[in-house]
């Protein structure tokens, strides 16, 4: 009997030890989740009222030409910026504009991803003969009301200067605008530039080095002048003459002999803008062309995309070249600028991870976001022309699940909304709420910096009922894109000398 009891105790001993070992583990599982960190978000839905139409004069001031009249030699050039949606089509409502904007944004993101995978060049195409020191800055406004996520810069073109709104685009190189006479031109805000009235306009000869900077420059043999063509991911195309011209900026800064495309055939979704300001890394981009005089750095700050819809708010910010950009570097969080030899236009940056609610997102590493220079695949592009940040699918899924978990921990403060909206798959019903707690979201850059995003940069209203969506999306392409919604409110510094990109919060 005693022997039998001893044997029973011996056989039960391993089970007892296992129970003792599991007790701490079970206790750990029963503990409440880690304390999340939150922001406060104003839960203001989109308006159902038609957006009031505005034009360039109401955004930048009535006397646009006077902005460029002073013949100054400023050490800094400033261009005002505005979001494209500030220029409203008749009777358009905010939800309609957002839906159209996301459709255009998806086309652009797809084109970038496809081009990166294929190792494409900067988009210029060959044409056959066609029938018929310091610095400067420009104002920038939002293009929201046109259904685009782009921003416009105000520039003076020619002598005397014709004011022109140009789309701010770090994802392309050629600077171009619509020119008279037009064979095909879309409706734009302001006067179409007529090179026949400019004393500084000069056509570029076919044999000139500037013409050879195009991927394959075309030639009008009858006139002996260079032709250009650029096609964009949304199907838009511009074509015409390559020329040199004087560009004028705020406070009298003028830059002579800038290579521009004078577009006589322009088709697509360039509503309201006069053309495009190419800020990429290629040989014909504006930063490359002005580097000898103003240095290899520039910066911009993108205001809230809805600022043009709020009469009491600031409607514009600035794009800056030269000395003023240097002053922004002291407070910037920098990460190395990476070059893709197969895609020389884009600004690749080193992102190593994300945090949600103050905790690092598991399952996301630098390897998932790294560019492979040998193949040109992967990596993260910083792009002013793409609205919604796209992340490689595995990265996005991990980030989304972390955000959902942190949102659920609010105890019902963020009520999930069934379904999604366009490309957004994580939405919340904030109807009837004035303010809500929102999990924090930070982007971790190589070098140790963590950039904390304001809540308005990642949880945005999509309708009049109070539905807000997580404003990031996944992509099946290898390349990820940091879009301009997430860049709002930061001064983004492109330091070409040190080959780095920096972000300065609250700098518009």
Give catalytic residue positions.
169, 383
What is the SS3 assignment for 262? strand
Contact 170, 347 (CB under 8 A): yes
Residues in Cβ contact with 151 at an 8 Å cutoff, skipping those fewer than 6 apart: 81, 82, 83, 84, 140, 141, 142, 143, 167, 168, 300, 302, 384, 484
103-142 per-residue burial string, b: 16 or more CB within 10 A, e: under 16: ebbbbbbbbbbebbbeebbbbbbebeeeeeebbbbbbbbb
Alpha helices in 187-313 (DSSP H): 209-212, 286-294
Q: Which two tokens mark 146?
A: 């046109």
Instruction: Check the CA dihedral 90-96-98-102 and report its sign.
Output: negative
Q: What is the DSSP letter of 296?
A: S
Q: Which two tokens mark 177?
A: 């605008």
What is the Cβ-side half-sphere exposure of residue 96, based on CA atoms within 13 angstroms?
A: 12
Residue position matching structure tokens 């050629």? 174
Q: Which two tokens mark 32?
A: 């409440």
Residues in Cβ contact with 491 at an 8 Å cutoff, skipping those fewer than 6 apart: 299, 300, 301, 328, 332, 503, 504, 507, 508
d(CA 144, CA 166): 14
């Amino acid at each position: 009997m005693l022997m039998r009891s001893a044997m029973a105790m011996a056989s039960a001993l391993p089970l007892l030890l296992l129970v003792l070992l599991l007790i701490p583990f079970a206790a750990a599982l029963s503990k409440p989740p880690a304390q999340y960190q939150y922001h406060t978000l104003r839960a203001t839905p989109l308006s159902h009222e038609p957006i009031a139409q505005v034009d360039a004069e109401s955004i930048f001031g009535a006397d646009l030409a006077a902005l460029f009249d002073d013949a100054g030699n400023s050490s800094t050039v400033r261009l005002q910026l505005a979001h494209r949606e500030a220029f409203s089509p008749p009777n358009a409502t905010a939800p309609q504009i957002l839906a159209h904007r996301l459709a255009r944004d998806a086309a652009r993101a797809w084109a970038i991803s496809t081009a990166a995978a294929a190792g494409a060049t900067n988009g210029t195409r060959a044409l056959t003969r066609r029938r018929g020191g310091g610095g400067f800055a420009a104002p920038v406004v939002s293009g929201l009301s046109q259904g685009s996520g782009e921003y416009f810069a105000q520039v003076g073109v020619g002598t005397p200067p014709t004011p022109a709104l140009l789309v701010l685009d770090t994802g392309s190189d050629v600077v171009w605008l619509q020119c008279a006479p037009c064979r095909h031109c879309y409706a734009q805000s302001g006067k179409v530039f007529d090179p026949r009235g400019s004393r500084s306009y000069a056509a570029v000869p076919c044999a000139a080095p500037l013409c050879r900077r195009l991927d394959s420059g075309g030639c009008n043999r009858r006139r002996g002048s260079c032709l250009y063509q650029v096609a964009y991911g949304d199907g838009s195309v511009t074509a015409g003459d390559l020329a040199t011209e004087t560009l004028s900026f705020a406070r009298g800064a003028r830059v002579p002999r800038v290579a521009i495309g004078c577009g006589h055939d322009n088709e697509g979704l360039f509503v309201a803008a006069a053309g495009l300001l190419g800020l990429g890394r290629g040989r014909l981009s504006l930063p490359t062309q002005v580097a000898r005089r103003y240095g290899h750095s520039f910066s911009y700050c993108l205001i809230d995309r809805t600022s043009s819809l709020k009469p009491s708010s600031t409607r514009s910010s600035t794009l800056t070249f030269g000395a003023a950009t240097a002053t922004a570097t002291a407070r910037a969080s920098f990460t190395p600028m990476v070059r893709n030899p197969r895609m020389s236009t884009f600004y690749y940056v080193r992102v190593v991870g994300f945090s949600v609610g103050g905790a690092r997102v598991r399952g996301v590493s630098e390897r998932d976001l790294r560019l492979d220079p040998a193949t040109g695949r992967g990596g993260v592009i910083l792009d002013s022309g793409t609205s919604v940040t796209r992340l490689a699918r595995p990265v996005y899924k991990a980030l989304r699940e972390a955000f959902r978990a942190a949102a659920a921990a609010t105890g019902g403060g963020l009520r999930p909304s069934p379904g999604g909206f366009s490309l957004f798959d994580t939405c919340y019903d904030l109807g009837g709420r004035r303010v809500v707690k929102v999990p924090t979201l930070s982007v971790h850059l190589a070098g140790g910096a963590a950039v904390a995003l304001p809540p308005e940069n990642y949880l945005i209203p999509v309708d009049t009922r109070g539905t807000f969506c997580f404003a990031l999306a996944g992509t099946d392409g290898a390349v990820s894109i940091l879009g301009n919604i997430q860049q709002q409110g930061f001064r983004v510094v492109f330091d070409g000398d040190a080959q780095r990109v920096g972000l300065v919060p609250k700098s518009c």
